[in-house]
Amino acid sequence: MVEINLKHIYKEYDGNDNYSVSDFNLDIKDKEFIVFVGPSGCGKSTTLRMIAGLEDISKGDLVMDGKVINDLAPKDRDIAMVFQNYALYPNMTVFDNMGFGLSIKKMPKDEIKKRVDNAAEILGLTDFLQRKPAALSGGQRQRVALGRAIVRDAKLFLLDEPLSNLDAKLRVDMRTQIAQLHQRLQTNMIYVTHDQVEAMTMADRIVIMNDGKIQQVGTPDELYNKPTNKFVAGFMGSPSMNFFDAELKNGRVSNGRGLDVAVPEGRLKVLREKGYDGKKLTVGIRPEDIHTEQVALEAMPDAVVSAKVEVSEFLGTDSMLYSRTGETEFVAQVNARDYHKPGEEVEMAFEMSKAHFFDDDTELTIE
């Protein structure tokens, strides 16, 4: 229903010399589900609040459907927002909470009722409409907050860590509910979270931020498989990627402290072309790309290390092996059938065709 463009947006708070958000550029297409993800304090909420109009934009343009709306009051932007702590009006019933925005707009009573009932139906809140928020569980409050946004029928939904106050199971349930809601409403949503799993599972596109700057924008698949820099590679995925400071020599990367594996021909060619032969670089490999099965060991004979398992976590289908080779520590995620007890010496194959290489100085992916 709406296109939004953020053009070179900067935010500088009073009494805070650094930009909390700098040079933020993003074009949001119609009906997209965008997720802002990043560590705490990276400026996600700030960006969201600038879009909402709750914070002034220090520099840059916020464009909605072709119009610069930097100075438009929040109430005139037709944006609905769900807050982290829900921000339900404690003195009003669930019904009044959801209908508040509509009654402010002087909508007829029966129309309000129709919309609220409809939203309550979708969210399973019909039985609670006459209750006060204090008499609801966390998950119910969360849904009221969503309902308040739904009834407004706004052009854009903003959600700031809406699930962070829920317990793990409820969080997963609500995750699906919100995704379904997006399907159903077909509006643009911008969703803020610091949980990369939420980001991966819900987003059409993810905007990953650090230190007030966008690191990468892309689909979950792009971010996971083609991270543009070391930060993105490390942030996406759990457990996170193993990084090694190593040197490329004779077609092998080694750190002189236990790690020494061959780089496959194709990757090697690129690295050589970029002039990394004989130079230091950072090697990254995801835990699931380290294998213990016999087949793998045979297929990649020159990328095998022998490691000692220090801690072993059984997770059902997989198990995590916190291992060490020489003085180098890393994590491998292997099939649960390949369970190994702590203390065991195990041969492990590094699937280097899936490895990532980063420049030591710029931390950018070498490609």
Ligand X SMILES: Nc1ncnc2c1ncn2[C@@H]1O[C@H](COP(=O)(O)OP(=O)(O)OP(=O)(O)O)[C@@H](O)[C@H]1O
183-187 contact pairs (CB < 8 A, 24+): 184/122, 185/150, 185/157, 186/1, 186/31, 187/1, 187/2, 187/31, 187/154, 187/155, 187/156, 187/157
Site for another protein in 54-113 (CB under 8 A): 54-56, 58-59, 61, 63, 66-68, 70-71, 74-75, 79-81, 83-91, 100-101, 104-105
Q: How far is the CB of 79 from another protein (least distance, A)?
A: 7
Q: Which of 3, 7, 10, 13 binds ligand X (CB under 6 A)?
A: 13
Closest CA to 44 of 179, 236, 178, 212: 212
Single residue of 20, 22, 45, 325 touching Mg ion by CB under 5 A: 45
- Residue 14 in contact with another protein, rule: CB under 8 A: yes
* Sole binder of ligand X in the list 77, 131, 194, 274 (CB under 6 A): 194
Beta carbon of residue 155, minimum distance to ligand X (angstroms, whole number): 23
- Asked if residue 42 binds ligand X (CB under 6 A), the reply is yes
Residue 46 binding Mg ion, by CB under 5 A: no
Q: Which amino acid is at 108?
A: P
Residue nearer to Mg ion on the CB measure, 102 or 214: 214
Instruction: From 134, 187, 197, select the one nearest 163 (Cα to Cα).
Output: 197
Euclidean distance between CA atoms 270 and 283, whole angstroms: 14
- Asked if residue 186 binds ligand X (CB under 6 A), the reply is no
Number of CB atoms found within 10 A of residue 103's CB: 12
Pick the piece of the chain touching Mg ion (CB under 5 A) from 13-21, 41-49, 143-151, 244-252. Answer: 41-49
Write down the least CB distance from residue 187 to ligand X, Å: 22
Residue 163 in the binding site for ligand X (CB under 6 A)? no
In the chain, which ranges are continuous DSSP H helix?
A: 44-52, 94-104, 109-123, 138-152, 168-185, 196-202, 220-225, 230-235, 265-273, 294-299
Distance of CA 211 to the CA centre of its chain: 15
> Element (H or E) spanning 16, and its range?
none
Q: Which listed option, Mg ion, another protein, ligand X, none, makes contact with residue 43 (CB within 5 to 8 Å by class)?
A: ligand X
User: 217, 205 in Cβ contact below 8 A?
Assistant: yes
CA proximity to 2, closest of 76, 64, 82: 64
Nearer to another protein, 47 or 282 (CB): 47
Closest by alpha carbon to 352, among 270, 235, 231, 274? 270
- Contact between 319 and 313 (Cβ < 8 Å): yes
- Any idea what the Cα angle at residue 22 is, between residues 18 and 24, rounded to 5°? 165
Q: Does 196 bind Mg ion (CB under 5 A)?
A: no
CA 23-61-38 angle, to 5 degrees, is 40
Q: Residue 40: which of Mg ion, ligand X, another protein, none does it interact with, CB under 5 to 8 A by kind?
A: ligand X
Q: How many chain residues interact with Mg ion (CB under 5 A)?
A: 1
Element (H, E) at 89: none
Q: How many residues bind ligand X (CB under 6 A)?
A: 12
Smallest separation (angstroms) from Mg ion to the CB of 162: 11
| Residue with Cβ nearer another protein (103 or 335) | 103
Sole binder of ligand X in the list 9, 22, 26, 46 (CB under 6 A): 46
Query: Which pair of tokens denotes residue 48?
Result: 């969201």
Residue span binding another protein (CB under 8 A) among the ranges 53-61, 220-228, 315-323, 353-361: 53-61
Whether the upstream peptide bond of residue 239 has omega within 30° of 0, thus cis, is yes
Rg (CA), the chain: 25
Which range touches Mg ion (CB under 5 A), out of 5-13, 38-46, 240-248, 293-301?
Answer: 38-46
CB closer to ligand X, 50 vs 348: 50
Q: Which spans of this chain sit near another protein (rule: CB under 8 A)?
A: 12-14, 52, 54-56, 58-59, 61, 63, 66-68, 70-71, 74-75, 79-81, 83-91, 100-101, 104-105, 133-134, 148, 152
Q: Which spans of this chain sit near Mg ion (rule: CB under 5 A)?
A: 45
